[in-house]
């Protein structure tokens, strides 16, 4: 029997590496590829709570998932306890393993409305949100936080304790303040302090780019798991604890083709265009030549695209089967 790395409420989680929620990236096709490679939980891109209530037909794709992606966590953002609760109650019907509240988005338009990292400015509201949702939902409630709004207001210990005391089941901590955006270095010492301050599982997040970083952040923070964002876009094999350079071209090809197929299945013909940004990462080591890059990224059909990709990977024609 495998032993779980930690629990998400009552749900055992097998594995301690988790793909981070990323708007524009952690959609069903990419999430499911990462899950197959070893990501232990599928967090969705953030979902605007007000949209769930007012225009669900426009954003339904954000909470679709494949059954075997479970445990799936739906991440929502909003600023009022009532809107978050109503959205969460509706989304709960789609069977997530947990609902996560985004308390980390640094976008000024979102923060100004008191959502995302803006919630860190109102600890009392954080308490109300977590208490209300954990009482009313049947699934666990989790939160993803930053260290605070800015250097002068790093209230992560307080927020973490509030999340735990009001029923939160797990915390993901990105070791930067809102003001830092994605600049500077993530503060792993602060994440270690959160691990000390709470008993619920903590996922350490920020600046994990290599397999060595995984072991370093785990040793440094004592966290239950590691959440990986940009490093996974560059190298989804990081979830199998493999360096990108160690992945042979045949394997890159197989994963790339499967990801493209899922993108086409999920988005229709638009799936090719949406796949380009991932393809540029899968094939980054082979894209130094600008003409080759342009040829790949402007390929008009999936078959053309795959032919270019196979050529770049140096694979024989036989491997260039068109999308299954």
Closest distance to ligand FMN from the beta carbon of 63 (Å): 13
Q: With respect to ligand FMN, which residue has the nearer C-beta, 214 or 306?
A: 214
Query: E strands along 189-316, which residues?
Result: 202-205, 225-228
Q: Which of 50, 120, 208, 309 binds ligand FMN (CB under 6 A)?
A: 208
Total binding residues toward ligand FMN, as defined by CB under 6 A? 22
Using CB under 6 A, which residues numbered 267 to 296 contact ligand FMN? none
Q: Which of 4, 5, 7, 23 binds ligand FMN (CB under 6 A)?
A: 23
Told to judge if 105 belongs to the known catalytic residues of this protein, a careful annotator would answer: yes
**b/e map of 270-293 (b: 16 or more CB within 10 Å)?**
ebbebbbebbebbbeebbeeeeeb
Q: Which of 6, 25, 156, 253 binds ligand FMN (CB under 6 A)?
A: 25
Question: Can residue 164 be called a binding residue for ligand FMN (CB under 6 A)?
Answer: no
Closest distance to ligand FMN from the beta carbon of 144 (Å): 4
Question: Can residue 214 be called a binding residue for ligand FMN (CB under 6 A)?
Answer: no
- Which of 163, 144, 185 lies closest to 21 in space, CA to CA? 144
Question: Can residue 213 be called a binding residue for ligand FMN (CB under 6 A)?
Answer: no
In this structure, what DSSP letter does residue 25 have? Answer: T
- Which of 143, 148, 156, 145 lies closest to 178 in space, CA to CA? 148
Question: Can residue 235 be called a binding residue for ligand FMN (CB under 6 A)?
Answer: no
Q: Is 22 helix (H, G, I), strand (E, B) or coil?
A: coil
Question: Can residue 24 be called a binding residue for ligand FMN (CB under 6 A)?
Answer: yes
- The label of the residue with tokens 């993803």 reads 144
Q: Are 156 and 145 in contact (CB under 8 A)?
A: yes
The residues, any chain, with a CB within 8 Å of residue 294's CB and separated by 6 or more, are none
Q: Is 211 helix (H, G, I), strand (E, B) or coil?
A: helix
- Nearest residue to the partner ligand FMN, using Cβ: 229
Contact set with ligand FMN (CB under 6 A) = 20-25, 45-46, 75, 102, 104-105, 144, 174, 205-208, 228-231
- Positions marked catalytic: 105
């Amino acid at each position: 029997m495998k032993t779980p790395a930690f629990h998400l409420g009552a749900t055992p989680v097998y594995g301690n590496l988790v793909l981070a929620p990323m708007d524009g990236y952690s959609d069903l096709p990419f999430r499911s590829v990462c899950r197959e490679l070893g990501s232990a939980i599928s967090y969705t891109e953030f979902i605007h709570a007000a949209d769930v209530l007012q225009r669900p037909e426009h954003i339904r794709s954000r909470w679709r998932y494949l059954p075997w992606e479970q445990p799936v966590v739906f991440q929502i953002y909003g600023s009022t306890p009532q809107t978050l609760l109503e959205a969460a109650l509706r989304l709960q019907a789609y069977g997530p393993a947990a609902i996560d509240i985004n308390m980390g988005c640094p976008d000024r338009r979102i923060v100004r409305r008191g959502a995302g990292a803006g919630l860190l400015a109102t600890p009392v509201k954080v308490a109300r949100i977590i208490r209300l949702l954990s009482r009313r939902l049947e699934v666990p409630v989790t939160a993803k936080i930053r260290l605070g709004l800015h250097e002068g207001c790093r209230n992560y210990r307080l927020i973490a304790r509030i999340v735990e005391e009001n029923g939160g089941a797990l915390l993901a901590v990105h070791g930067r303040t809102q003001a830092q955006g994605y600049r500077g270095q993530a503060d792993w010492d602060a994440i270690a302090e959160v691990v000390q301050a709470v008993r619920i599982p903590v996922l350490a997040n920020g600046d994990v780019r290599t397999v060595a970083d995984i072991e370093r952040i785990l040793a440094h923070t004592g966290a239950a798991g590691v959440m990986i964002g940009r490093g996974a876009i560059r190298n989804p094999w990081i979830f199998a604890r493999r360096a990108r350079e160690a992945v042979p071209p045949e394997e890159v090809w197989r994963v790339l083709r499967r990801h493209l197929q899922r993108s086409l299945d999920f988005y229709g013909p638009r799936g090719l265009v949406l796949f380009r940004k991932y393809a540029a990462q899968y094939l980054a080591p082979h894209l130094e030549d600008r003409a080759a890059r342009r040829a790949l990224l402007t390929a008009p059909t999936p078959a053309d695209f795959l032919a270019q990709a196979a050529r770049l990977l140096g694979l024989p024609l036989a491997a260039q089967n068109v999308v299954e």
